[in-house]
Amino acid sequence: MQEDCPFEKIYPSALHRDADYFMTHAYNEAIEAWKKDEVPIGAVIEYEGKIIASAHNQSRSTKDPTAHAEILAISQAASFIGDWRLNQCTLYVTKEPCPMCSGALVIARIGKVYYGLPDPRMGCVGGALDLGALPDSNHNFESVSGVLQELNHDILKAFFEKKRQANLAKKQAARDEGTATPDN
Ligand code: ZN
């Protein structure tokens, strides 16, 4: 079932393929996630100026805790390039990668990471810690935080607010039902 998403996709000009351009495509993936009732996080991977991987969070629908946007995009990019090493690739993701995804980015030898919303609690590319800059690691990568941060913040905030309201309504309905039982 398609969920209504109050946010609309943005189609940037392909003439200026800067960080905002790629991040906008990641944001559009986040909207796709919302439509499937998934936490709206999206990612794309750029290689030689082109998007070679594009994915959104799918943990709920696949019942797979590893089905994060970044992991799915890494797999797509690796199969496109035909190599597990992604040194020449750049990842754009709407929210700072979690510990699992940050670890996968080290293992994939990603070239560079841009993310939208920082996550000081669970983010592992500079938020809570930085797995891209471990002193004795065999691979370090540069990261840039805060790309289209407001947009990426707003969609997540609105999604969790919607969920909170839905939960409150459910609880209220359960309470109303409770008072209507013949036992009372
Ligand atoms: Zn993750």
CA gap 127, 28 in Å, rounded: 24
CA 71 to chain centre: 10
Whole-number Å distance, alpha carbon 123 to ligand 1 midpoint, is 9
Mean pLDDT on 67-73: 98
160 DSSP 8-state letter: H
User: Is 70 a residue of the active site?
Assistant: yes
CA of 112 to the centre of ligand 1 (A): 16
Encoding tokens for residue 175?
A: 């309470």
Residue 40's closest CA among 76, 84, 3, 65? 3
159 CA to middle of ligand 1, Å?
18
Summarize pLDDT for 121-179 with one digit per residue, the tens.
999 999 999 999 999 999 999 999 999 999 999 999 999 999 999 999 999 999 998 86
